[in-house]
Amino acid sequence: MTVVSGAERLLVVDDEPTVRELLAATLRFAGFRVSTAATGAEAVASAADSPPDLVLLDVMLPDLDGFEVVRRLREHHPVPVLFLTARDRQADKITGLSLGADDYVTKPFDLEELIARIRAILRRTTGRRTGLLTSGPLVLDPDGHQVTRDGEPVRLSPTEFRLLRYLMENAGQVVSRAQILDRVWQYDFGGDTSIVDTYISYLRRKLDAGHPKLIHTVHGTGYVLREPRR
């Protein structure tokens, strides 16, 4: 597998656990690496320890307000910031943007629109797109949600796309059914894992028909995606 560029790391800062967890789960599902903080001090410390590619920042925090967090972050880290807050006064928006924030989104918000705004900021600030994945004849474009084999498009459902992406990210490595469930379906599952087998069969029909096999079963363990032997 070749990764043209890695998954961007986002820092979500919000003192409301429900909002924080929803955002983190949604953004991980969209392919980002996500860390979280519940206070301004935690956000500053986290960014100092491991600078993120973008910060999603609430204005109303229990210690420092979001505006002060931006000031402190910008002392050492020119990190992009998207304010995500219930404070919708024009004066607050002007303050946030004048501090150099890249966008200002008010609650409630649409998750799909938020992800689109995040990707737009990352394209502007990093000068790159979320990386293409390649494995032998396969090319997967996370941004365009497209897959090709030998240059020919392959139409996949959203779940099939996530499953293939996970297999390509781990090409050459055996992944268990439990790992696939946790990453692709985003929950722990202690029962019947046949859903994985079902979707693997869907992928095989679409990817391998008339071609050398790419997805292999490792009996008693799981699955592995390997490039065809030459």
- The CATH number of residue 43's host domain is 3.40.50.2300
Alpha carbon 58 to its chain's center: 20
200/154 same-domain check: yes
Mean pLDDT, residues 135-145 taken together = 83
- Whether residue 157 is predicted with pLDDT greater than 90 in this model: the reply is no
Residue 141 — pLDDT band, cuts 50, 70, 90? confident
pLDDT for the residue numbered 2: 33
DSSP string, 150-212: TTEE----HHHHHHHHHHHHTTTS-EEHHHHHHHHS-S---S--HHHHHHHHHHHHHHTTTS-
105/164 same-domain check: no
In a domain, residue 15? The reply is yes
Stretch (H or E) spanning 44? helix 40-49
pLDDT for the residue numbered 1: 35
- Whether residue 230 is predicted with pLDDT greater than 80 in this model: the reply is no
Mean pLDDT, residues 158-184 taken together = 88
For 69-113, write each residue's pLDDT tens digit.
Answer: 988 887 777 788 999 887 767 777 777 777 777 888 888 888 888
Mean pLDDT, residues 56-75 taken together = 88
- Whether residue 129 is predicted with pLDDT greater than 60 in this model: the reply is no
Per-residue tokens: 62: 């229990």
Q: How far apart are CA 42 and CA 33, in angstroms?
A: 18
Mean pLDDT, residues 25-49 taken together = 91
Q: How many domains does the chain have?
A: 2
- Whether residue 199 is predicted with pLDDT greater than 90 in this model: the reply is yes
Are 81 and 57 in contact by the 8 Å Cβ rule? The answer is: yes
CATH of the domain at 193: 1.10.10.10
pLDDT for the residue numbered 106: 85
69/144 same-domain check: no
Range of the domain at 54: 9-126
Mean pLDDT, residues 112-136 taken together = 75
Q: Which of 3-12, 16-25, 79-88, 177-186 is modeled with the greatest confidence?
A: 16-25
Alpha carbon dihedral 152, 156, 161, 164, in 10-degree steps, equals -60
